[in-house]
């Protein structure tokens, strides 16, 4: 059993770093993938989140969707609560991409408070990435579509973290205009 907060968080960081070790982000400089889940957890901590399971789930949120990690493995290493939050943040990869994107919008309002936190910070991090640099091969239209879609997902997650939501609103105002 994990007995301290630092140990709990570092176990999650170490696990995610090993799982994502061969992956890179889509930005032109091919940033190591692990920067993203660590940055998502950092955004939450900086916004005042102290719930350890939420921060662990943020660190682990893309391991099941994007690596060979199973939910059973997450449960074995980090317990049932972290497993549930990660599960809530994992798309069903058996579905077509467009359907997965539609379901994120439809399902967001029904997620737990903890999963909403992770999803808000995940989108904030990705939108900041897109503001910083356009992924290789993406047209301006595709970038714009991503902002429009992300706004629909985060609108369904609102009401849990005023700081993150304010930071998202600032970006949406910059990119989409005041609407
Ligand atoms: P996505 O549009 O889903 O790619 C965005 C995802 O990539 C993010 O959610 C993020 O997910 C991850 N990511 C990695 N690096 C970055 C980065 N630097 N900045 C932002 N996000 C990053 O890509 P897909 O290839 O999955 O495309 C699926 C959808 O894209 C299709 O359903 C279609 O609608 C649309 N599309 C549009 C095109 C167009 O020209 N308009 C062309 C092709 C597709 P995570 O948090 O999991 O890392
Ligand atoms: Zn992510």
Complex ipTM, two decimals? 0.93
Residue 92 catalytic? no
CA 162 to chain centre: 17
Write the CB contacts of 14 (distance below 8 Å, at least 6 apart in sequence): none
Question: What is the model's pLDDT at position 178?
Answer: 73
Q: How many CB atoms lie within 10 A of CB 53?
A: 19
pLDDT over threshold 80, residue 75: yes
Contact assessment for residue 20 and residue 62, using Cβ atoms and an 8 Å cutoff: yes
Of 159, 98, 153, the closest CA to residue 123 belongs to: 153
Atom of ligand 1 nearest to the CA of 96: 32
Percent residues over pLDDT 70 in the chain: 98
Contact assessment for residue 148 and residue 105, using Cβ atoms and an 8 Å cutoff: no
Percentage helix, strand, coil for the chain under 3-state DSSP, each rounded to 5: 70, 0, 30
Residue identifier of the C-alpha nearest atom 36 of ligand 1: 142
Residue with tokens 């969707």: 65
Atom of ligand 1 nearest to the CA of 65: 47
Given pLDDT bands bounded at 50, 70 and 90, which one contains residue 3?
confident
**DSSP letter at 133?**
-
Residue 14 catalytic? no
Q: Which of 66, 73, 87, 169 is catalytic?
A: 66
Atom of ligand 1 nearest to the CA of 40: 46
pLDDT over threshold 70, residue 1: no
CA distance 63 to 68: 8
CA distance 59 to 14: 10
- From the number of C-beta atoms within 10 Å of its C-beta (0-12, 13-18, 19+), residue 66 rates as middle
Q: What is the mean pLDDT of residues 160-176?
A: 97
pLDDT over threshold 70, residue 179: no
- Within 6 Å (CB) of ligand 1, which residues are found? 25-27, 36, 62, 97-98, 101, 122, 126, 129-130, 135, 139, 141-142, 145-146
């Amino acid at each position: 059993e994990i007995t301290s907060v630092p140990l709990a968080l570092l176990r999650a960081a170490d696990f995610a770093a090993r799982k994502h070790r061969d992956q890179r982000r889509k930005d032109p400089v091919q940033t190591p993938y692990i920067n993203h889940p660590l940055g998502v957890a950092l955004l939450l901590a900086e916004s005042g989140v102290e719930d350890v399971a939420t921060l662990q789930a943020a660190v682990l949120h893309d391991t099941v969707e994007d690596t060979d990690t199973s939910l059973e493995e997450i449960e074995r290493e980090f317990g049932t609560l972290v497993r549930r939050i990660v599960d809530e943040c994992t798309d069903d990869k058996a579905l077509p991409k467009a359907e997965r994107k539609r379901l994120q919008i439809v399902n967001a309002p029904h997620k737990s408070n903890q999963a909403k936190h992770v999803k808000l910070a995940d989108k904030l991090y990705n939108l900041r990435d897109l503001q910083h640099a356009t992924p290789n091969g993406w047209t301006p239209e595709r970038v714009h579509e991503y902002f429009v879609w992300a706004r629909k997902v985060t609108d369904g997650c609102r009401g849990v973290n005023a700081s993150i939501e304010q930071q998202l609103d600032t970006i949406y105002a910059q990119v989409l205009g005041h609407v």
